[in-house]
Structure 1
């Protein structure tokens, strides 16, 4: 009887070892670990447009920390990834083909390939309670009345004091009226300022409408971008 039990135990151990040593088990385990990491720790994204050049290039693979804002909030200068809401007119139709849907769902889960998510990457220029306006005497963005240093900005709108500024006709498209950011919301801009569909795109110039600022809800911010991982030549943290 004892020998029979011992044989049964040996068979169970052998079966367990074959299962955990199999290719498919290890592949599923790898996918599981990737999914957990992406859901709770870091998430891999691909930069979709040139609005953040030269800080980020189209197609750059970047890692975003989901833990960066636990116990803290985004600050001015942070590069963040956020879910595009209907406010941004960026909502994406979900595929109706079940196979395409499944492939994109899996891609979003493990961070490899296309996904169902529609996310954007921009830089925070103002947070809740802060007031923004443009421009100062030299064309700088003002946050709470102080000029914002933005060495990373390229391709900005033309601003020449006395020639093309906020008092000329036509005024510089860099100019925007004063706006105080509501609670739990953020104003975000692209580093390639004139090539960015961002918070202020509808506010620039003399024809801007009221309530033109489109903010990002705190709940829509996925996390803080902390490094580029591909291509190797772009490896490193973004300027800021």
Structure 2
């Protein structure tokens, strides 16, 4: 779990656990300018009313975004630099080589959690959270820290991943999202079930979306075992 912050506080099980464990810290590096610009961009996206997947985040290059950002910085050169920074950040977050491939319409399906939209984790990151989850697993049922083989992941170099969360392409659709959630059923019983932030319909590209998705699929597996005993 590579993320160093949680998105939102309300209706967020990961936040609830991390908050109880005391592994959240106040972000001392927040910039009021960055927050203001981020708020403006979020408002613009919310007000576009474009729910079509074919519309893209290239919208951030539009005259409307430039004018709104310039109202804050009041400097043409700085305004363009800020927009370039914003675009680069969105490309990095989405693992996309171009914002023209990232669907703007899909952003309307994302559900924001109440509270601070970025809660930072301490230096230990998610270690306390992982230890909490591990404590609920009986050691005789699963061997932890038992290395079978060593694999070095370079997923940031993978052209299909780029080291970031998933994003919805302008070439995708809601039906594609629903297909990702379906298990592999070669016979009468599901053999492979899929979980992860990309599967969640409301909290995609978030840690708590991945967490909720994992719990849901685990419950599905338990139901399958109970129904076929």
TM over 0.5: no
Structure number, greater radius of gyration: 1
Structure 1 length-normalised TM: 0.21
Q: Which has the higher strand share?
A: 1
Q: Which has the higher helix share?
A: 2
Structure 2 length-normalised TM: 0.22
